[in-house]
């Protein structure tokens, strides 16, 4: 989990909604210059917005927790197989790029050393290798710790 702390100073404001007498409304600020900011017309809903600025300052401080999740890559962790680039060749010999993805499958395998099932995402080639050599041997060769999974 990533921890981000954000703090900002924001002026409090009051927003009022009312039915328009005309289609023109001016926004005025309470600053020393007293200049008019412009006009706002709400033609869709028939509402005009009046904005009064207050001189009160509120300090806003919040803590946001963003979950950081690993991206499921299309690579087999046991064999290292990954996507292959190929050309699709048309009749006119026009070549367009295409990716050939690895046949990755989610598989629940029994792990003898841990005496439990392990959920893995592996290629069908790795599955055949595990059937031949055993899960512990293949995981040890690939450098994968099955106790974490």
4-62 residue pLDDT tens: 444 444 444 455 555 555 544 444 445 444 444 444 444 445 555 555 555 455 555 66
Report the alpha-carbon distance of residue 143 to residue 39 in Å, rounded. 66
Judge whether 16 lies within some domain: yes
Domain identity same for 61 and 13: yes
Q: How many domains does the chain have?
A: 2
Same domain, 89 and 143: yes
Residues 14 and 46 reside in one and the same domain: yes
CA distance 80 to 91: 34
Global pTM value: 0.49
Same domain, 10 and 62: yes
pLDDT at 148: 80
120: phi then psi, degrees, rounded to nearest 5? -130, 155
- Statement to judge: residues 42 and 90 lie in one domain: no
Task: Please check whether residue 102 lies inside any domain of the structure.
Answer: yes
Q: Are 123 and 102 in contact (CB under 8 A)?
A: yes
Residues 60 and 98 in one domain: no
Identify whether residues 142 and 89 lie together within a single domain: yes
Same domain, 92 and 56: no
For residues 117-123, average pLDDT: 95
Question: Is residue 71 in some structural domain?
Answer: no
Residue 72 lies in a domain: no
Structure tokens at 10: 């924001």
Please indicate, yes or no, if residue 37 is contained in any of the structural domains: yes
* CB burial of residue 24 (10 Å; 0-12, 13-18, 19+): exposed
Determine the angle formed by the axes of helices 124-133 and 135-142, rounding to 10 degrees.
120
| Structural domain of 139 | 84-148
Q: Give the residue with greater pLDDT, 16 vs 90.
A: 90
User: According to the model, what pLDDT value does residue 73 have?
Assistant: 83
């Amino acid at each position: 989990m990533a921890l981000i702390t954000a703090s900002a100073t924001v002026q409090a404001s009051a927003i009022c909604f009312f039915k328009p007498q005309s289609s023109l409304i001016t926004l005025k600020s309470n600053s020393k210059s007293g200049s008019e900011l412009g006009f706002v017309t709400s033609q869709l809903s028939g509402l005009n917005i009046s904005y009064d600025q207050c001189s009160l300052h509120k300090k806003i401080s919040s803590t946001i927790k963003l979950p950081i999740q690993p991206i499921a890559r299309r690579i087999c962790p046991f064999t290292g197989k990954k996507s292959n680039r190929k050309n699709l060749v048309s009749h006119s010999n026009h070549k367009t790029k295409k990716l050939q993805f690895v046949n990755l499958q989610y598989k629940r395998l029994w792990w003898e050393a841990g005496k439990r099932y392990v959920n893995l995402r592996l290629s069908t080639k790795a599955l055949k290798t595990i059937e031949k050599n055993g899960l512990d041997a293949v995981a040890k060769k690939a450098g994968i710790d099955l106790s974490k999974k």
